[in-house]
Structure 1
Amino acid sequence: MKSEICIAGLDSSVTVVLAHDGHVEAPNWHPDGYLIVNGDGRLFRVDLDAPSLEAIDTGFATRCNNDHGLSPDGTRLAISDHSQHGKSSVYTLPVSGGTPVEVTPRQPSWWHGWSPDGGAIVYAAARDGGPVAPYIAPLEGGEELCLATGFDHCDGPDFSADGAWVWFNGERDGSVDLWRVRPDGRDLQRMTDGDSVDWFPHPSPDGAHVVWLAYPPGTQGHPGGLDVALWLMPQDGGAGRELVRLHGGQGTINVPSWAPDGRRFAFVRYAD
């Protein structure tokens, strides 16, 4: 498999940053001008000025999946790894690498977003035999809160730029759409209702847009290896528009990947 790490502009322009003969996924964008991706259970730094895969030391965490991301100040990295428990748990470590510290005592948990003030994380989790749902918890300890119930499956929770909303994708009555909810679980709102199967909404850091991954109608789950599209809509809600069509899906844009200025974002597309 060939992976292309790309940057998309709001005008639908696409620039290939790095073509890799292997499988990498889920870019994050650090304000210092590099991306972070995962592959084969490891994390890598990709310098935008001289692109290559530079391994990040994650200690014992060598079974990282594609749910990882950066603290608002860029100093810490959140990872989702199942080396210790056999099920995914969320850890944090210095962005330069180091020993992971577990922050979700219950499993499975998959990180997806960090609050703008740095005090909380949101993640997808399954508890007590129930479906995967969006959760929020204080980063430095405290009880987790399930943000939405009544769904068959949820994923990809991510904060709006002002911290007032948590966006996520939710499956209900056979339809997978984008939703948002307040960080205390109030005021649940459906934000898309089209025929596509909508996953992984990511609000931009300037508060203007939300980008998401649109699968063809009838897609089950969030597989890879499909012809998909990246769509854009206003962060306050409203009609969306297609930005880019590509071959991808799983691994394309699982986690926040906006540039700090909110005018570009990173994604991965694939070819055999």
Structure 2
Amino acid sequence: MFASDPKFELRYSGEFPAVASTGKLALSPFGELTAGVNLSQIALSVMDLDGGNAKRVFSDKDGGAYAPTWSPDGQWIAFGFGAFFTDRETKPAHLMMVRADGSEKRDLTSGPINSGFPSWSPDGKHIAYRIWAQQDRGLRILNLQDGSITTLTSDYDNFPVWSPTGDRICFTRATQNAFDIFSVRPDGSDLKQLTDAPGNDAHCAWSPDAQYIVFSSSRLGFRDEAPLYDVAPQPYAELYIMKADGSDQRPITDDKWEEGTPTWVPGTVKQARRE
């Protein structure tokens, strides 16, 4: 995979990749879409960074597992389980976590509200996630020590990602005409809009030193790009990078494929990405 900036090495992985501090890669889904598996039955898999030694660690016929996030010590994986996408307003989903080997399954949230797309705080004590209901939207923070939940935002927000330094959370928000990247402090203060270009900007991820944010953008427009498979939900995106304050935005891909849901490999300036 080619990056226009030589400081970055791109590696194709799969949807919603998450890389642990131990170097393990979690994917959900992992090949199921190309195999025609129903979206409501997507499993969670763990493997080496090169795709070797893959092991399915969670699968349940009653729902799909999406968007894993690793605990800072690499021992646990949190994820959303249930119904997502077109079913998110009518069917519930909740947060779960399992050990990296698939043992000790635990429910983290419950109730009728659709909860998903979690991100673990770097101190391991909290998880940020999005909720979705007909009358209730936004981002929430779960305290893993006492189970309490606090409201972070109440807008049409999704895909929260906690910075490695713990002082900010970036996320995607629906603005007046598009989707854009924002960041906010974990207490809900100091909200900042980081992108404001024509087209959608989404799926942000922090660099390990918290100095940069990578994200997908459709600002270059439609150019006969194509997803790798027919059921990909949102083609026409390239990967962009910017400084944490939103400055110096520039593309790092320019090809015929869709790029999205990127993540950084911890401790390096390289990233794994989904095409």
TM-score band w.r.t. shorter chain: 0.7 to 0.9
Unaligned runs of 5+ in 1: 1-5, 19-23
Q: Distance in 1 between matches of 2:27 and 2:206?
A: 19
Q: Distance in 2 between matches of 1:32 and 1:8?
A: 25
How many equivalent pairs are there? 247
Residue 147 of structure 2 aligns to a residue in which SS?
coil
In the alignment, residue 157 of structure 1 is paired with which amino acid?
Answer: P
1:46 paired with 2:58, answer no
1:258: which partner in 2? 264
1:171: which partner in 2? 174
| Change over 3 Å in CA distance of 1:260–1:212 after alignment to 2 | same
Q: Distance in 2 between matches of 1:111 and 1:123?
A: 5
Unaligned runs of 5+ in 2: 33-41, 84-89, 223-231
Residue 244 of structure 1 aligns to a residue in which SS?
coil
Q: How does 1:60-79 map to 2 (within 5 A)?
A: 60=60, 63-79=63-79
Q: Deviations over 1:49-107 (max 9, x none)?
A: 5x346223226477334311101111110121118x95221111111211421111233
Q: Deviations over 1:122-155 (max 9, x none)?
A: 011024x225311112123333222123x3x211
TM-score by length of 1: 0.79
1:155: which partner in 2? 158
Q: Distance in 1 between matches of 2:56 and 2:172?
A: 30
Q: Distance in 2 between matches of 1:73 and 1:9?
A: 33
1:142 paired with 2:142, answer no
1:248 paired with 2:262, answer no
Q: How does 1:178-257 map to 2 (within 5 A)?
A: 178-216=181-219, 224=233, 226-246=235-255, 247-248=257-258, 252-253=260-261, 257=263
| Change over 3 Å in CA distance of 1:104–1:231 after alignment to 2 | same
Higher RCO, 1 or 2 (CA under 8 Å, sep at least 6)? 1
| Change over 3 Å in CA distance of 1:61–1:96 after alignment to 2 | farther
Q: Distance in 2 between matches of 1:58 and 1:8?
A: 33
Q: Any conservation in 2 of the 1:42–1:55 contact (CA below 8 Å)?
A: no
2:120: which partner in 1? 114
Higher strand residue share: 1
Q: Distance in 2 between matches of 1:138 and 1:8?
A: 38
- TM-aligned CA deviation for residue 228 of structure 1: 1.1
1:11 paired with 2:6, answer yes
Counterpart among 122, 125, 129 of residue 131 in structure 2:
125
Q: Distance in 1 between matches of 2:4 and 2:269?
A: 6
Q: Percent same amino acid at aligned positions?
A: 23
Q: Deviations over 1:200-238 (max 9, x none)?
A: 11111212211111125899xxx6351211111112331
Which segments of structure 1 move beyond 4 Å, counting only runs of 4 or more? 6-10, 12-18, 59-62, 216-219
